[in-house]
Structure 1
Amino acid sequence: NTGSVPSVVLMPVDGEGPTIVAVHAVAPRVEEMGQWSSDLQWIADQCPAGNVILAGDFNATIDHMTPLGVDGGDMGYCRDAAARTGNGLSGTWPSSLPPLLSAPIDHVMASADWTPTGSALIDDAGGSDHRGIVVQLEPSSAG
């Protein structure tokens, strides 16, 4: 699990369907850098080759994840849906700033079993300091 803020791993009981991992890595503050790195590694480890969807507050941009990608993935074998559908640079935090001035630290990622076919940023944060991101994933023939 992530060290400071809980994450959840949901696995289908009958083995049919994706493993869904809701993640929340600790923020990369000076005093938390070791834990942040450990959290990102744990998240990457949750996406081995297989049927996986990761979603949540990664507290990291794609640039931070580069060393954790495997075989073209951004985190383990998972690929960022927004980055592959034209919204990868749209910032989600803080919601008080325009998307182009915010950091894209919230993500939905999926293994090769899924093809991202769309994404949208929800500009009305509803009181949160993060914008929401919605993605459309379709079963892939690669999976």
Structure 2
Amino acid sequence: MKIATAGVVVAGVIVLAALTLPILGRGTASPLVFALVAFRSLTLLVAAIAVALIAISLLVMSGRRAAAIVAVLTALLVLPFLITLGGGTASDVPAAHSEDELRILSWNTDQRDVDDDLMVLVEQTRPDIIVLPEYFTSTAEGRFATFAEANEMSVYGWDGSSATILIADRLGKYTMHNGDTPPWAGIYLVPERHDAPFLTVAHLQRPMLTEGADLWRQHVAWVRDRCDRGDAIAVGDFNATLANLGSDRLGSCSEVAATLGQPESGTWPALLPAQLGAQIDHVFAGDDWLPTWFGVLDAPGTRWSESSDHRPIFVILDRN
């Protein structure tokens, strides 16, 4: 009897924690809760498996009544799991249909040698802007010099960030304004042309058990402050889902996938199916931009993206 009672209590605690923590923890930067919120579907799946194993154990050791109670608790996790299950990856990228549209490709390459894979993605998406949140500019300037010249693009970056961005020359020249950019947060670029977007490249540092969440909060605030106008765009690796951020808006910018009504699709880690991963790579766009397409892509050559632990994202924006 004691074993049965203990099993039911433990199962109940697991179910309660799995159902409530990801909801109550929205916008919380505590590292452990942060992870549970980011991987809500995976949290529910693991909890359901754990409770199901308890039910099987009780059925073997303590009879059917306790096992039936725990089985009901297991069922309580199934529906939320199915509801929170993310979307898959996109397969067909729309071809360019207008010179006015803006096409942006972003891929955290994890500082790996993925140049060939990146060129396949470029051929597939034909971007005007290529964002590489983890690709040092000193390396990119050497490796992409020929590519940038051939495709009429310019390479931008600075020493205080691991990020690089390539921008089509048709958008005009850009100036980097990073005097108040926190270390490793990203890059802020201001256009010379009035009709070109103000661009923020994000590579925010995630909350750490050893260092806390202050740096992540500082980085989020930095992006929010730069999303202060209708023509602003922020793109890259935010190391956070929308639930972690607590909103689908940063300043005047809205998250593109949410605006399009698409379910979140895991961009990290690429080892997990997209339905179970965390979408921590995003595009936020100001009200001057109308999102027409967004997709999480599989990296070229392999579904599991052996070349990086992130999946690429791609977005198409029109002028509003």
CA contact under 8 A between 2:185 and 2:219: conserved in structure 1?
Answer: no
Structure-2 residue corresponding to 1:98 = 273
Match of 2:282 among 107, 122, 126: 107
| C-alpha distance 93-4 of structure 1, shift in aligned 2 (>3 A) | farther
- Looking at structure 1, the residues matched to 242 and 226 of structure 2 have their Cα atoms a distance apart, in angstroms, of 17
Amino acid in the other structure paired with 2:229: A
| C-alpha distance 114-48 of structure 1, shift in aligned 2 (>3 A) | same
Structure 1, unpaired ranges of 5+: 68-72
Structure-2 residue corresponding to 1:129 = 309
Q: CA deviation at 1:16?
A: 2.9
- Looking at structure 2, the residues matched to 6 and 65 of structure 1 have their Cα atoms a distance apart, in angstroms, of 16
1:84-127 deviation digits (Å, cap 9, x = unpaired): 22444101010110111111100011000001111111112461
1:8 aligns with 2:187: yes
Structure-2 residue corresponding to 1:22 = 201
- Looking at structure 2, the residues matched to 29 and 99 of structure 1 have their Cα atoms a distance apart, in angstroms, of 24
* TM-score of the superposed pair, with normalisation by structure 2: 0.40
* TM-score of the superposed pair, with normalisation by structure 1: 0.85
Amino acid in the other structure paired with 1:79: S
- Local SS of the residue matching 2:259: coil
| Count of aligned pairs | 135
Structure 2, unpaired ranges of 5+: 1-179, 300-304
Match of 2:295 among 113, 120, 126: 120
- Looking at structure 2, the residues matched to 45 and 32 of structure 1 have their Cα atoms a distance apart, in angstroms, of 22
Higher helix share: 2
- Local SS of the residue matching 1:40: helix
Match of 1:50 among 215, 230, 236: 230
| C-alpha distance 34-6 of structure 1, shift in aligned 2 (>3 A) | closer
Bigger-Rg structure (1/2):
2
| C-alpha distance 52-59 of structure 1, shift in aligned 2 (>3 A) | same
Structure-1 residue corresponding to 2:252 = 77
Q: Using the aligned pairs only, state the percent identity.
A: 37
Aligned CA-pair RMSD: 1.8
